Chain A
Amino acid sequence: MAVRREKAERLADEELMPLVGRKDPEAFEVLYDRHGGAAYSLAYRIVGDRAAAEEVTQEAFISVWRSGARFDAARGSVRSWLLSVVRNRAIDFLRSRAAKAPKLDFDDESALEQRPAEERTEEEALRRETAAELRGALGKLPDPQAKVIELAYFGGFSHSEIARILGLPMGTVKGRMRLGLEKIRGEMAEGLA
């Protein structure tokens, strides 16, 4: 039986998940109200247009609704898990859109988002990077580290694609990823100290 909305609002995310697993719409609605904004913002940041972001967010939340039992509290918070579901859906969306798109002229700006990963160019990478508003922890990193993390996490590029796009050895790309993440992590640890 569905719990009342007011009762669900008093529960922690981790307490809501078993109810979502039992198909309780009220619990799910509270979960959406808590994290839907962050989820949609992330989807929009990755796919770059509102209609697609809406589609991705809806698909992600539906998959959470249908598979709430997959959440494992030992591996992180509900919010982190949920946002990782959104991120994966958004990257899948980008790749599927790229795969379906016809081959277009490289000077066609509108075609840039539609190209398969292997055809995406440095031009695109730079456009994405400059268009991105780097905020928070990422914004504090030196540009070379922020750029590779940005391309990997928000662009869905693999390290070898990033190496090709930026014209860098793969080892350099992986090293910058590592340095950047360690720096963010170090700042988080200092903040807690």
Chain B
Amino acid sequence: MSASDHGRWSDELAAYALGALERDEADAFERHLAGCERCREELRWLQPAVQTLPESVERTEPPPQLRESLMAAVRAEARQARERTEPAAPRRSRGWLLKPAAGLAVVALLVAGAVGYEVGKDGAGNGGGTTVERQVGGIDVKMVQEGNSGTLQLAGVPQLPPDKVLEAWVEREGKVEAVPALFVPDRHGKAEARIADMSDVSTVMVTEEPRGGSDQPTGEPIVAMAVPQ
């Protein structure tokens, strides 16, 4: 990289740190940043200045009901998470309590899908393919496996906020891997993801992730389904 190239991007640095670049500009800057140690160093230097900005705001006391409603919601979710995971653990010991790959959060993989149940299985149709259907948390899940690939079909998926996408994951030999499949439900709540390599996959999962996807699941799966071996 030339000095002038660095200089051009260096002008963008403060705007980037302040979140003031347009999305395409920010994407381009991040691509440059990945290969420019000088920019990374300058950004590290400027970042604390941005972090002081929220601290400069005049303090306004939050209303007490905010804490109350927040904690009520959190306690309810914690209770539901316990109820979902604890009773199901013994009968789904294989494939549900997952060993995460390095850096993956175990909590994200304590599977909400344990409430699912199998409603159909076709081991003979589709030219030797396998179809497994389940209903998981109100979502109809159909996993069609043909040869080494598969298609995950969902119906009844709630609409997502505009900054969210669905991301598919597989558990393979005890490790969780991202599938290069980001997708969103259509207006009828249907969504589909293709999984190119189903070899040795024991579980397929879907989580809600920020637009652009994540390197690891950031929340509990909305769908998790064991795959027949």
Contacts and interface: CB of A to CB of B under 8 A. Distances in A.
Contacts of A21: 105, 107
Contacts, number: 163
Contacts of B59: 37-38, 41
Interface string B198-229: 00000000000000001011111000000000
Query: By DSSP majority rule, is chain A's interface helix, strand, loop, or mixed?
Result: helix
Interface residues on B, range: 35 or more
Contacts of A92: 163
B2 interface: no
Interface of A: 2, 21-25, 28-29, 32-33, 36-42, 44-45, 50, 53-54, 57-58, 61-62, 65-67, 69-70, 76-77, 80, 83, 86-88, 91-92, 133-139, 149, 152-154, 156-160, 162, 171, 173-175, 177-178, 180-182, 184-185, 188
Interface string B29-69: 00000000000000001111111111111111111011101
Contacts of A66: 77, 218-220
Contacts of B71: 25, 28-29, 32
A177 B15 CA distance: 7
Interface of B: 11-15, 17-22, 45-63, 65-67, 69-71, 73-75, 77-78, 81-82, 105, 107-108, 163, 214, 216-220
Nearest to A88: B19
Given A67-B219, A153-B19, A181 B46 contact: yes
Nearest to B10: A178
A174 B12 contact: yes
A58 B48 CA distance: 25
B66 A69 contact: no
B62 A178 contact: no
Nearest to B65: A54
Given A42-B57, A58-B69, A139-B56, A188 B48 contact: yes
A58 B219 contact: no
Contact of A45 (B21, B47, B58, B77): B58
A136 B52 contact: yes
A25 to B, nearest CB: 5
Contacts of B49: 137, 181-182, 184-185, 188
